[in-house]
Chains A and B, each alone.
Chain A
C-alpha cells in the first residue's frame, strides 16, 4: 500500500513540480503549440520539396514530439530534485527506489503519449489528412511503445545528470538526433548508410515505423516485430539508465558531488 502511495502521490507531485507548480496552461505553448508548429513546418517542407505526403510528416513529427516530454521529464527526475535541493533527502529516504522511479516516469510517459496523440489528431485535422477511427487504438499503442523507448533513453540522460550540470543541452541534442535519424521526416533509405545503421538502435525508429503501418490500416501482426523491437530497446535503455543511476549515485556520494554536478 505504501509502495502504491509513493508511486501515485509522489509521481503526481513530481509531475506538477516539472512545471514549476504553475498553472497547467503552461502545457499549451510547450506541448501543444510547439508540436503542431513542427508538424506544419515539415509538412510544408514536404509539399515544397515534393517529398513525402502530409500523412507521412503528420505522424512522423507527432510521434517524434513524444520524445520532448519523455526525454526532458525523465531527466528532471534527477535534475529537478537537485534544483529543488531535495535530491539528497530523496536518496536518503527509506522509500523504495522502484516506486519513486516508476512514479516519476509514468506521468512523463503518459504525457508523451498525450502530446503525440494530440499532434496526430490536430495535425491531421489542420492538414486534411484522413484518420480512420478504427486505427486510433493501435496507433496509440505504437505511440506508447515509442514513448516508452524515449523514456528509457531519458533515464540514461537522467543518470548523466548526476555528473553533468547542463542536462537541458544534452536533452535537446538527443531530441535533435531523434528528429534527424528516426525517420520522422527523412526516409530511412535517404539517410547516409552509417547514420541509417545507428537509426535502428535508437528509440522511436521502430515505434514510428509501427505507427505508420498501423495508421495506414496495417494489422498488429504486421507491426508486431517493430513494436517488439521498440519495447525491447526501451527495456534495454531503461536497464542501462537504472544501472548508470546506481553507479553514478554511489560515485557522487563518495565524492560528495551530488549537489555540485
Chain B
C-alpha cells in the first residue's frame, strides 16, 4: 500500500513537473513574477540603508516566491483537470483523490523551490545582501518544511475551490495578503493586533521565523515544530474536506458543471 502510494506521488509529481516546464506561465512566470516584487522590496530596503533590514527582506523575499507558484497554480489545479476532461477520471480512479491532488501541489511547490534559490542568488549577487546561514543544515530543513507547509496550504486551497468556476481570480487575490500576513517582508509585530492572530494560524509564518532564526544562529526548532504541527493539522483538515467536497459534487452532479 505504502509502496503504491509512493509510486503514485512520484509518477504524478514527475508528470506534472514536466507539464509545467512546457508552460511559459507555470514554468517561467512563477520565477519572474515574484522576482519583480522581491526586487522592488529590496530596492526600497536598500534606500533605507540598513544592511540587516536588507538581509531580512532578502530571506523573506526568497521564501514568499513559493506562494506565488502555489496561489496561482494550485488554486487552479482542479479547474485545469476539468478543462483536460480528466477530473472525473481522477475522482473515479481507485487511487486516493487527495493523494493525487497533493502530488500535483508538490510539483507546483517544486517550481516554487527554484524561485527560492533564484531569489536568494539575486539578492546576494545584485543587492549584496549578506546571506550566510549560521546553521546551514537547519536553514535548509526550515526552507523544506516551509515549502511543505505552503504545499499543504495549496492543497487546502485547491480542494476548497473545486466548485468555484472563476478560481483563477481568487488565487491571485490571495497572493499579497499571505505575503503580508506571514511576515515575509514586514515583521508581523508591525501589523495591527487583530491581524497578528491570523498570522499565527498560518504555518508559513512559523516556517519563516524558523528560517530567520536558523540564518541568525538562533534556536529554530520550536518554530519549526509549530510550522510542521499546524501544517499537519491543515493536511488532515484538507484530506477530510476533499472527501466531503467530492461527495457533495458527485451527489449534486456538479463535478464538471460547477
Contacts and interface: CB of A to CB of B under 8 A. Distances in A.
Contacts of B93: none
Given A34-B173, A179-B37, A180-B39, A41 B44 contact: no
Interface in B157-191: 165-166, 169-170, 172-173, 175-177, 179-180, 185-187, 190-191
Interface string A183-194: 001110011000
B41 interface: yes
A185 B38 CA distance: 12
The 4 closest A-B pairs by CB, nearest first: A37-B176, A176-B36, A29-B173, A49-B48
Interface in A29-60: 29-30, 33-34, 37-38, 40-42, 44-52
A261 interface: no
A29 B36 contact: no
Interface string A142-155: 00000000000000
B193 interface: no
A40 B47 contact: no
Nearest to A23: B166
A87 interface: no
Interface string B15-55: 00000000111001100110111011101111110100100
A51 B53 CA distance: 12
Contact of A190 (B43, B177, B191): B43
B208 to A, nearest CB: 14
A177 interface: yes
Nearest to B29: A169
A93 to B, nearest CB: 29
Q: How large is the interface on B (under 10, 10 to 19, 20 to 34, 35 or more residues)?
A: 35 or more
Interface in A133-188: 166, 168-169, 172-173, 175-177, 179-180, 185-187
B164 to A, nearest CB: 10
B180 A22 contact: no
A6 B173 CA distance: 34
Given A52-B44, A185-B43, A187-B47, 5 more contacts: A26-B166, A40-B180, A44-B185, A45-B186, A51-B44
A96 interface: no
Interface string B79-111: 000000000000000000000000000000000
A33 B180 contact: no
A20 interface: yes
Nearest to B35: A176
Contact of B44 (A40, A46, A172): A46
Given A166-B24, A172-B33, A44 B169 contact: no
- Interface size class on chain A is 35 or more
At the interface, is chain B mostly helix, strand, loop or mixed?
Answer: helix
Contacts of A177: 36
A41 B180 contact: yes
Given A34-B176, A37-B173, A49 B25 contact: no
A190 B40 contact: no
Contacts of B53: 48-49
User: Among B35, B46, B176, which residue has the most Cβ atoms of chain A within 10 A?
Assistant: B176
A41 B179 contact: yes
A49 B45 contact: yes
Contacts of A45: 41, 44-45, 57, 185-186
A20 B24 CA distance: 22
A179 B47 contact: no
A41 B173 contact: no
B186 to A, nearest CB: 4
Nearest to B28: A169
Contact of B180 (A20, A34, A44): A44
A51 B48 contact: yes
A190 B47 contact: yes
24 contacts: A29-B172, A33-B173, A34-B173, A34-B175, A37-B176, A37-B180, A41-B176, A47-B186, A48-B186, A49-B47, A49-B50, A50-B48, A51-B45, A51-B47, A52-B44, A168-B29, A169-B24, A169-B28, A173-B32, A176-B35, A185-B43, A185-B44, A187-B47, A190-B46
A169 B30 CA distance: 10
B166 A176 contact: no
Nearest to A19: B166
A40 B176 contact: yes
A186 B40 contact: yes
Contacts of B175: 34, 37
A173 B185 CA distance: 21
Nearest to A169: B24
Interface centre among B23, B44, B47, B53 (most CB of A within 10 A): B44
B176 A38 contact: yes
A49 B173 CA distance: 25
